Amino acid sequence: MARRKKGEAVSGWICLDKPYDLTSTHAVGRVRRLFNAQKAGHAGTLDPLATGILPIALGEATKTVPFLVDADKAYRFTIAWGRTTATYDREGEVIDQSDVRPDRAAVEAALPAFVGEIQQIPPIYSAIKVDGERSYDLARAGETPELKPRPVVIHNARVSDVPDADHIEIEIECGKGTYVRAIVRDLALALGACGHVSALRRTRVGPFTEDLAITLELLEEFGHKAAHLEHLLPVETALDDIPELAVTAEDAFRLKQGRPIVLVPRQVEALKARLTPGSRTVSTLAGGVMVALCEMRAGKLEPTRVFHLDKSGD
């Protein structure tokens, strides 16, 4: 007899506004306990010293995490001029100092070189693996791991505020794998200055924005499950750029059994027009409830991830 899973079959997304000095893993654990959920995960690690959007998946929503990990993100960060630290943030040991304080015009003139597809070397204090070990573990052990440049995409970058001569605030929108600390490192170098990240906030992950966000403090103030569930976003929230297809109850039954369904030509043409280049993924629903994620091939939809949801999302 199969062992019953601990917790409740709660499914959906929480758009968490992660507080300062909390790891993403601890944030997931606290949200999971609040909802007494059987499963939980997050889409894209946020450094402990950063705040902002951390999408947390509960239950069946964990099956859609891969689609959000690749989503575009937006950040707002402050550079403190004058000191470079080993970690390129406020917690690291100071390794260099300078009296140079680039002004707004100098930073705005330098930023275009960081927009588009660029080659970026990740900071050595990062989770990237080198010969099977985390780069930050090697760095903390006194080694200097060699990290290779990798392509990242920065869609736009702009100066959003200059509170004083020692600080400047910048906002960017970027693709996956972009390190803000590496941008600050390279920008300071290009300007002949020293600098580090003194504040960092993620303002968007795909469709998850600050307008949808809720704090841990507020979630923990709620004393009953119903109040928690009011802030639970649908499983399909992470699939905003994936076309949907309503299917019959009979086809939904086939998909849940792992069997493909046949499309009529007009359905094929309609879906092709809505698919993003290079993608074959289609989301299917029956009665407004997610049934499965499918791959469209040769006029058929073949299920790749099947969901077990009812109309309440649980």
- In 3D space, the residue among 286, 87, 69, 284 whose CA is nearest the CA of residue 197 turns out to be 87
Judged by phi (left if over 0) then psi (alpha if -120 to 50, else beta), residue 198 lies in alpha
**C-alpha distances in Å from residue 120, one per residue of 178, 199, 264:** 8, 21, 46
Handedness of CA 290, 294, 298, 300 (dihedral sign): negative
Residues 6+ apart with CB under 8 A from 237: 12, 13, 207, 208
47 included as an active-site residue: yes
Residues 6+ apart with CB under 8 A from 175: 72, 73, 152, 153, 154, 155
Q: Which of 17, 47, 186, 251 is catalytic?
A: 47
Give the separation between CA 12 and CA 31, rounded to whole angstroms.
12
Residues 6+ apart with CB under 8 A from 12: 58, 59, 61, 232, 233, 234, 235, 237, 313
Indicate which residues carry an active-site annotation. Answer: 47
